[in-house]
Amino acid sequence: MTELGVKWSCEYCTYENWPSAIKCTMCRAQKPSATIITADPFPGRTDPTAGHPWDPVLICPDSSARPRVRSAQSVEPSGKWSCQVCTFLNWPRSVRCTQCRSLRATEAPSGTGRPASDPCEEYNDRNRLNMRVQCWTCSGCSYENWPKSPRCVVCDQPRPNDAYQPGEPDEINELSAVINETERRRARGVCSGARRPSPSSSAREPELQIELAAGAQSGRDEREVDFKKLKQIKNRMRKTDWLFLNACAGVVEGDLTAVEAYKSSGGDIARQLTGDEVRLLNRPSAFDSGFTLVHLAIRFQRQDMLAVLLTEVSQRAVKCIPAMVCPELTEQIRREISASLHQRKGDFNCYFLTDLVTFTLPADIEDLPPAVQEKLFDEVLDRDVQKELEEDSAVINWSLESGSRLDSRLYALWNRTAGDCLLDSVLQATWGIYDKDSVLRKTLHDSLHDCSHWFYTRWKEWESWYSQSFGLHFSLREEQWQEDWTFIINLASQPGASLEQTHIFVLAHILRRPIIVYGVKYYKSFRGETLGFTRFQGVYLPLLWEQSFCWKSPIALGYTRGHFSALVGMETDGCDNRGAGANLNTDDDVSVTFLPLVDSERKLLQIHFLSAQEMGSEEQQERLLRDWLDCCVTEGGTLAALQKSIRRRRHPLVTHMLEKWLDGYRQALACPSDGEDDDDDD
């Protein structure tokens, strides 16, 4: 049976309900006190209760699927507005769409100055909000990026487990365009969601907002202005700027690749973070205005980063060291080193090398013309390290007697600026090659692990004495000592990780010979500022071996600002014996380099990792040095260690490699002369 009476229209969804309905059938809203006439079931009849004729049916001229009517007494204006998102017809005084809660196109909030919402953009914003759970968080600046972004839109950090690499400028410009378009859409503050309002929440009009890139605290207008500023900054960014921000994030996260990429692109190490760049990085706890990469490396204790940042490699010449000339010979030498490694049986089962090899520059260099010699030294030496150790800090070659009369000048070989510089310098000082395959690093880790108790006892006793001698009166629990020791062992197993004094001590046992480190006393920035105190300079003796099992001829390393370099001498002919003036009984085959055991102030170099019984006065330490090294006192009164190398007994592979290397300079010398002969013949 058809229900008679006047239908009433819901004021929320405009659905026509039967007169007996108390709530709207569609949205369950309460029946209003005044109803809208939608039909006249009995034309010409009067309402007995109202006492006046019923109004005729008035069909609203719109494009709705069903006719809409209004009452003659209605106070609403005549025209409804259609929602641009869902096309729902809303009453004129509605500020938002009743169905999807989208703002009315002509009713934008006052004071924002923004145009009406684009329905397509509103639709994209709603979809973007639904995808928010799929965003990935940048490990550098904690910014949430869209799933398809290969890099962080703020700091250009690669997505985790993503092999995407920085591309050419065209690729970066394309990526920046995508970033800007994405962030422009993200700036919109309202996300439309298809939700049905409940009667209890009809008085509230909740507004879902998308989080802005700058992380503004509050206020939609403030976020809008802040984001526009960030967008302008990004539009001005160049490839070098993105590489710099990526390097800053790399220092914080320990990504050495990002730092090397910025440096290799010609980036300025002295560049400082600006306020705008700090805002882009969006990590106030890590980045401050005025900070450089060096400051960040110090703040986060990235010693390997300091080596890359502070060691400026000379660009005046392409580097050409003997190991680069003949890769086949270099591989044979590496196999020879691996074959000469053995593990000692017994309680102290440390690894050791069976061969005694010392690398020196060949005397044939002096036969080359001065111009060719200068070119050779530019390509094989690290001029910056040489200058810092020799002139700035007076660490090496400070004695005229050693450099001139004894012909014991030390040369700093060029070395890679990676975290393996210590291991590379050790192999350069012995065999003249790099630890490319990490053979020495693996041996170092295995020796630390297998002889952990022996080295741990020495390390703990030395660290305790050292802290007390500098007035650092603190004590650690055994758990803390064990934790620090585990960290030292783990460093040895990580390629590229910077190493410490303990690792040099272990390397002295692997080589079975002393290691002398000539190093600067302080870390200094590129502006000459003192950044910290170094502890590397001194003598490292293989104290855990028997003296009869070790050689007394040491090797020398240089240490500058977190970077190690091999210090080698130049051999001479037998008739020009370097031992002149020191009363040495040497034959014609032996070449001797005098390595001072005192600094420029005539103070004895520190001996590292001594036990309590071995520590004593300076005279006792000098006797200890004489026991472990071949020592002599020069005519000038300098205590020095003798580094001996036998020219004719040099390893044949190393000799062959040096000859190949020198042939390149000899051929370069012969080419111009051949041209001159041709001119003379003409």
Dihedral of the CA atoms 325, 331, 336, 341 (nearest 10)?
120
Helix (H, G, I), strand (E, B) or coil at 245: helix
Task: Encode 349-413 in three state secondary structure.
Answer: CCEEECCCCCCCECHHHHHCCHHHHHHHHHHHECHHHHHHHHHHCCCCCCCHHHHHHCCCCCEEE
Q: Is 52 a catalytic residue?
A: no
Radius of gyration for the alpha carbons in the chain, expressed in angstroms and rounded:
40
Q: From start to end of 125-279, where are the E strands?
A: 136-137, 144-145
Tokens representing 523 are 């870390």
Q: Is 295 a catalytic residue?
A: no
In this structure, are residues 538 and 608 in contact, taking their beta carbons and an 8 Å threshold?
yes
Dihedral of the CA atoms 205, 211, 215, 218 (nearest 10)?
0
Tokens representing 628 are 């472990």
| Residue 210 CB neighbour total at 10 angstroms | 16
Angle at 388 between CA 368 and CA 397, to 5 degrees: 60
With b for 16 or more beta-carbon neighbours within 10 A and e for fewer, the 34-72 pattern comes to ebbbbeeeeeeeeeeeeeeebeeebeeeeeeeeebbbee
With b for 16 or more beta-carbon neighbours within 10 A and e for fewer, the 132-148 pattern comes to eeeebebbbbebebbee
In this structure, are residues 643 and 360 in contact, taking their beta carbons and an 8 Å threshold?
no
Relative orientation angle of helices 452-469 and 439-450, to the nearest 10 degrees: 90
Relative orientation angle of helices 169-186 and 220-236, to the nearest 10 degrees: 170
Considering the candidates 10, 100, 248, 421, report the single residue annotated as catalytic.
421
Task: Encode 153-195 in three state secondary structure.
Answer: CCCCCECCCCCCCCCCHHHHHHHHHHHHHHHHHHCCCCCCCCC
Q: What long-range pairs does 656-659 form, CB within 8 A, spacing at least 24?
A: 656/326, 656/329, 657/322, 657/323, 657/325, 657/326, 657/329, 657/330, 657/333, 657/432, 658/322, 658/362, 658/432
Considering the candidates 563, 608, 632, 651, report the single residue annotated as catalytic.
563
Relative orientation angle of helices 256-264 and 239-253, to the nearest 10 degrees: 150
In the chain, count H helices and then E strands.
20, 18
Q: What residues act catalytically?
A: 421, 563
